[in-house]
């Protein structure tokens, strides 16, 4: 290392040496730059118990998520055919811009019908039925069977969707 000398004595100045040493150490450590880490992988979907009790709990949470506009959680329970109707980002975006949750659902029970489970519930006195099936270890919601009217709306371009659902500020 080259010695830094003061003009008056020809010897290295202690304060200047310390500053050079600190500067060198900072450069050697990357100026506080952190090494990027790989993003955490998405948590693996756990398997749902294949029981009526588990289905009713999941359906209750699904409806609670819908009522609270937790749209990502709702969409993530849709089966593949339902997801083909509208993409995740578009679904979440439409509901963020125009929340349409009708209110809290009361689950009344379920019935097994062939490969489907029908979950009966009510919202504000209206009796409704959702269709669920067990697929790859998870209970999945079928939008197409459960709510064909929503399917027609989601297939519309965004501007027409907002107009059809009466969303203020989108005409």
Domain extent for 142: 52-164
How many structural domains is the chain composed of? 1
Per the domain annotation, does 42 fall within a domain?
no
**Which CATH number covers residue 138?**
3.10.450
Helix (H, G, I), strand (E, B) or coil at 45: coil
Per the domain annotation, does 13 fall within a domain?
no
Q: What is the pLDDT of residues 58-87, one digit of tens each?
A: 999 999 999 999 999 999 999 999 999 999
Per the domain annotation, does 5 fall within a domain?
no
Decide: residue 156, CB within 10 A, 0-12 exposed, 13-18 middle, 19+ buried. middle
DSSP assignment of 120-137, as one string? EEEETTEEEEEEEEEETT
Q: What is the mean pLDDT of the chain?
A: 82
In contact, 129 and 143? CB cutoff 8 Å = no
Per the domain annotation, does 24 fall within a domain?
no
Per the domain annotation, does 30 fall within a domain?
no
Q: What is the pLDDT of residues 23-55, one digit of tens each?
A: 444 444 444 443 434 444 445 568 999 999 999
Q: What would you measure as the largest C-alpha separation in the chain, in angstroms?
A: 98
Residue 10: pLDDT band (50, 70, 90) is low
Per the domain annotation, does 124 fall within a domain?
yes
> Does 135 have pLDDT greater than 60?
yes
Per the domain annotation, does 6 fall within a domain?
no
Report field, pTM of the whole predicted structure over 0.85: no
Per the domain annotation, does 75 fall within a domain?
yes
Decide: residue 52, CB within 10 A, 0-12 exposed, 13-18 middle, 19+ buried. middle
């Amino acid at each position: 290392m080259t010695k830094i000398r003061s003009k008056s004595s020809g010897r290295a100045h202690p304060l200047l040496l310390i500053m050079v040493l600190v500067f060198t150490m900072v450069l050697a450590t990357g100026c506080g730059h952190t090494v990027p880490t790989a993003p955490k992988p998405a948590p693996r979907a756990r398997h749902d118990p294949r029981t009526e009790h588990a289905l009713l709990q999941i359906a209750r949470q699904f409806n609670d998520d819908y009522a609270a506009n937790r749209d990502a959680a709702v969409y993530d329970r849709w089966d593949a055919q339902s997801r083909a109707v509208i993409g995740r980002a578009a679904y979440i975006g439409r509901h963020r811009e125009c929340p349409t949750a009708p209110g809290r659902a009361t689950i009344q029970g379920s019935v097994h019908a062939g490969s489907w489970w029908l979950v009966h519930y009510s919202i504000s006195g209206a009796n409704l039925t959702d269709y669920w099936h067990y697929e790859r270890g998870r209970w999945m919601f079928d939008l197409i069977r459960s709510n064909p009217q929503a399917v027609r709306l989601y297939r519309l371009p965004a501007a027409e969707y907002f107009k059809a659902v009466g969303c203020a500020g989108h005409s």
